[in-house]
Amino acid sequence: MEQEHFFQCPYCWEEISMIFDASVYKQSYIEDCEVCCNPIEVSPTFEEGELVAFYSKSIEQ
């Protein structure tokens, strides 16, 4: 089960979207922004296929 989530990039502030596997309760990984290509740590949390928590932060370089 996939779910798309829209949020602002912590570097360029553009709205971007990512598709997450909603069947996995808690996730954390690094994905590059599709606009500025900087790495973002994203951490979505799902309950019964619904997004209940989400945070994204920049990665210190």
Q: Residue ranges per domain, the chain?
A: 2-58
pTM: 0.84
Contact 20, 5 (CB under 8 A): yes
Write down the pLDDT at residue 61. Answer: 61
Write down the pLDDT at residue 60. Answer: 74
| pLDDT tens per residue across all 61 residues of the chain | 899 999 999 999 999 999 999 999 999 999 999 999 999 999 999 999 999 999 999 997 6
DSSP assignment of the chain equals: -EEEEEEE-TTT--EEEEEEETTSSB--EEEE-TTT--EEEEEEEEETTEEEEEEEEEPP-
